[in-house]
Amino acid sequence: MPPTTTAAPLTDLRPAPADITGEVLAGLSASPRRLPSKYFYDARGSQLFERITREPEYYPTRVELALLEASMPSIAEAVAAHAHVVEYGSGSGRKTRLLLEGLDVPVAYTPIEISRTALLASVERLADEFPGIELLPVCADFTGPVPLPAPSREPGHTLVFFPGSTIGNFTDADATGLLRSMRTTMGPRGQALVGIDLDKDPALIEAAYNDAAGVTAEFTLNLLARLNREIGSDFDLDGFAHRAVYVRERRRIETFLVSRHAQDVTVAGRRFHFAPGEAMQVEYSHKYTDATFGALAAAAGLRVVRRWNDPRDWFGLRLLKP
């Protein structure tokens, strides 16, 4: 039978709308202050992130793509045939394509994404290119277990794909929780292919989060623009500066918005005073060793069964199993 295009209807698990105001008020009341990095990705933030991935200093995307391309034959050997590929986030870019093209005939592809718009746009882009793969998008929050739609052809097993070292944006406790949920989502015979940025020369890492063109600084400050627009806060974008430092002992980039002078900010009728130089934490980006990532996986009941690194050991892909 010739392959058919089988774009399935969206499975909408109706993720709870975010309580942005509540989270921001909690973060501004904490000491030291913090804001959640998950709110970076409005339309402008997503565009700016795309630009970051093309900046010369930001190596992770380029290195992971080259690694995926070079390792695809060996990844395809390690992953059982006829997989139901489940991507965390709305993949439709080069990494998704490389995986779907390189694996031994995947039967279905499910992107899991909290934004309906981003989700539908991604499957639309893939439908024409992969007519033989059933597309089963799910609108849900992937940080919890996600019940998967059943492909019409029996899959060999589920393969969760979580590239980009997005796991590094979670604290270790939250990353463990996420991996635990992933284990439930993939089931006892499932596998997961996870991209991780590796610990390396701090100067290289710091440069990646402080690009000379200032795109990362714009990306960080866009968080305040989004909050002003969406929850009516009055952050003065010129009153804060981007600062990203690599903290070796914690193996992570810590990104802050630093108050340039004494100022007040009002959010939902509450006033918050910032001292000059006061730093508000806005993002973590963890870098891993085999030991630290292995421990994270083990805490979630998963084992690293295969590993692929680029020739300089800058970035890794890890295949996990329960």
Token representation of residue 217 = 């600084």
Segment contacting ligand AVI (CB under 6 A): 119-127, 165-173, 257-265, 273-281?
A: 165-173
168 binds ligand AVI, rule: CB under 6 A: yes
Our CB check for ligand AVI shows the closer of 134 and 283 to be 283
164 binds ligand AVI, rule: CB under 6 A: yes
SS3 254: strand
From the CB of 207, what's the least distance to ligand AVI, in Å?
11
Among 15, 60, 91, 155, contact with ligand AVI (rule: CB under 6 A): 60
Which amino acid is present at 264? Answer: D
Among 71, 92, 96, 165, contact with ligand AVI (rule: CB under 6 A): 165
45 binds ligand AVI, rule: CB under 6 A: no
> x/- site string to ligand AVI, residues 225 to 264, per CB under 6 A?
----------------------------------------
CB count within 10 Å of CB 195 equals 25
185 binds ligand AVI, rule: CB under 6 A: no
Give the residues across from 271 on adjacent strands: 266
# residues contacting ligand AVI (CB under 6 A):
11
Among 109, 209, 256, 315, contact with ligand AVI (rule: CB under 6 A): 209
Q: How many residues does the chain have?
A: 322
Q: Which residues sit at the interface with ligand AVI, rule CB under 6 A?
A: 52, 60, 164-166, 168-169, 209, 216, 283, 285
